[in-house]
Amino acid sequence: MIEYDKPMDIERRSFEIITQLLGERVIPAENELVVKRVIHTTADFDYAENLAFSDHAVAQGIAALRAGCDIVTDTQMARSGINKRVLEGLGGQVHCFMSEAEVAALAGRRGSTRAAASMRWAAEHVKKPCIFAVGNAPTALLELGELIRGGALSPALVIGVPVGFVNVVESKQQIMDAGAPYIVARGRKGGSNVAAAICNALLYTAVDALDPARRGWQG
């Protein structure tokens, strides 16, 4: 029997089920909203164990969003999944520079991937505080680590959740050691959808809109 067919009710019921299935697992209250949003997006309860947070990362991300920071992503998929209406209401924008001709040229000159070049381009050209959300390319995360360690970038938060098998685990560890606030999915799991889910969890909290009705959902 179909119990719930309206989007608002489906989301509410989904979060109730997630809470039930998490059972006795202890998740710090500050991080719970992010963990549950990622599980809601992926239906993967491993994220209750493998999401790692620097001290006060969630609070720092929310504060940055409320202050009007931008978000830089490494894929158009992540960019598409982030709630731009909420972000713009806070004074921010979301960027993905992967398709820019200047980024392709920079990658060619440096002999790097376009994803890595897009992070360097953002660091040099976005003249406001940023959250960097990487869900696909470990080379983008490695580039961010180099920029942070070299003093060329001080991000409001790094969301490091690339997925795959080559340099993925290593890139995440480098970000965790770089000294910037981070939310990282340890291990090989992740993805652009996970990066967007984390951004949205922070955005919805920043505007007190965790319940879908607060985001203008009807029915």
| pLDDT number for residue 219 | 38
| pLDDT number for residue 218 | 41
Side chain identity, residue 54: S
Model's pTM, two decimal places?
A: 0.94
| pLDDT number for residue 4 | 55
pLDDT along the chain (219 residues), means of 10: 67 90 91 96 96 97 98 96 96 95 92 95 94 96 96 96 94 96 97 97 91 63
In degrees and rounded to multiples of 5, residue 174 shows phi and psi of -60, -40
C-beta of residue 142 within 8 angstroms of C-beta of residue 117:
no
Runs of H (alpha helix) within the chain: 7-22, 29-42, 47-50, 57-66, 76-81, 84-89, 101-110, 114-125, 138-149, 168-178, 192-206
- Report how far residue 27's alpha carbon sits from residue 73's, in angstroms, rounded to the nearest whole number: 27
DSSP conformation class of 213:
G
| pLDDT number for residue 215 | 72
Both structure tokens of 45 = 């309860």
Q: Where are the domains of the chain?
A: 7-212
SS3 215: helix
SS3 32: helix
In degrees and rounded to multiples of 5, residue 141 shows phi and psi of -70, -40
Fold of 7-212: Rossmann fold (3.40.50)
| pLDDT number for residue 173 | 96
Q: Which helix (H) or strand (E) holds 131?
A: strand 130-134
Which residue in the list 40, 56, 95, 125 is annotated as catalytic? Answer: 40
Active site residue 40: yes
| pLDDT number for residue 1 | 52
| pLDDT number for residue 216 | 65
| pLDDT number for residue 176 | 97
Both structure tokens of 148 = 């942070």
Residue 160 Cα distances to 15, 55, 99, 110, 143, angstroms: 24, 15, 21, 23, 12
